[in-house]
Amino acid sequence: MSEKFLSVKDLNDHYITSEADVWAVNGVSFDLERGKTLGLVGETGAGKTTIARSILKILPNPPAKVLGGSVEFEGKSIYEVSEAEMQKIRGDKITMIFQDPMTALNPVMTVGEQIAEVVALHNGGNKEDAKNRAVEMLETVGIPAERYVEYPHQFSGGMKQRVVIAIALACNPDLLLADEPTTALDVTIQAQVLDLMRELNRKNDTSMILITHDLGVVAEMCDDVAIVYAGQIIEKGSLEQIFDHPSHPYTNGLFGALPSMKDDEDDDRLHPIAGMPPDPTNLPTGCYFHPRCPYATEECKNGPVPVKELAPGHTCMCHKAGEV
């Protein structure tokens, strides 16, 4: 049976600087069951990466500060765990594929050594076992074994991303946080990496939080979807609920901006969402989406926005949820 082993409740993260406070994450809550994949979808700057870094407890402090909420992993509060114990969890039970491989790799260590280091730290064994596992992981992500001794600067951006993926998957984690894992990859390697992560999911009952802009990848990989806007989850539900019955105007806007492959489609132009995401240092009152929403009323501009349950597991933060 599926088991809920990650629970995020009312998470609030701000970046506090001398110029302004950045309201990055504002009351985010969700649960994740073992073996399931949750997709976090939204525009750049919505707070998706900050949510993932909060789970791994690697937000830079300062300027980042967790102002409220909790993250429970396997029944234990992440924020009550010591840093020494957290270091045992990172890379073993919870790993992250970072979006920017340029800053995720150590420039003075070979790529093989960086993978082997993670294996040796968490799996034990001798150096030869760690090296063999590192070579296996390089080949798994499409990099020849002889490149074990090369340095990050000798790899292209896409190849660096594959190395980062190999590091994240080396210890067969229980929870994988994948932050745009296929952005720098060509289509062929992207398909291989997605297949690899899906196989990990099946083989080891691994859970995954997938951060992406690509709704096609979400449709292929995810069991559940959470739509993130201005640091809030404004709609969440199963893959079928979000794709077949999108209820928030922003969610509908995301689907409206996708090109249609249907021959009988009369409209040959896309429908982008008007306006720009709000300034996180000066968020609007009421619904954060109301300045861009074609259905906004005075009610939307003032006061709290209700979270409505449209079906079991399908929630929407909107006064007009289910009406548009």
Does residue 202 carry a pLDDT above 70? Answer: yes
Q: Are 227 and 42 in contact (CB under 8 A)?
A: yes
Q: DSSP characters for 94-106? A: EEEE-S-HHHHS-
What pLDDT score does 284 carry?
94
- Residue 296 identity (one-letter amino acid): A
Lowest mean pLDDT among 7-11, 32-36, 42-46, 269-273: 269-273
What pLDDT score does 101 carry?
81
Residue 55 parent element (H or E): helix 48-56
List the beta bridge partners of residue 17: none
Could you give the CA distance from residue 254 to residue 249 in angstroms, rounded to a whole number?
A: 9
H helices of 106-156, where? Answer: 111-123, 127-140
Does residue 255 carry a pLDDT above 70? Answer: yes
Q: Is residue 317 packed enough to be buried (19+ CB in 10 Å), middle (13-18) or exposed (0-12)?
A: buried
Q: Are 39 and 52 in contact (CB under 8 A)?
A: no
In the predicted model, what is the mean pLDDT of residues 58-70? 92
What pLDDT score does 268 carry?
66
Beta pairing class for 207-212 and 37-41 = parallel
Going across the sheet that includes 94-97, the strands are 94-97, 175-179, 207-212, 37-41, 224-229, 232-238, 314-317, 307-311
Does residue 2 carry a pLDDT above 60? Answer: no
Measured CA angle at 198 (ends 257, 142), to 5 deg = 95
In the predicted model, what is the mean pLDDT of residues 26-51? 93
Q: Are 310 and 316 in contact (CB under 8 A)?
A: yes
List the beta bridge partners of residue 314: 311
> How confident is residue 262, by pLDDT bands cut at 50, 70 and 90?
low
Closest of 172, 215, 219, 161 to residue 197, by C-alpha: 172
Task: Report the SS3 class of residue 118.
Answer: helix
Residue spans of the domains in the chain: they are 102-172
C-alpha pair distances (Å), 320 with each of 236, 302, 323: 15, 14, 5
In the predicted model, what is the mean pLDDT of residues 56-64? 92
Does residue 261 carry a pLDDT above 70? Answer: no
In the predicted model, what is the mean pLDDT of residues 207-216? 91
In the predicted model, what is the mean pLDDT of residues 108-120? 95
> How confident is residue 192, by pLDDT bands cut at 50, 70 and 90?
confident
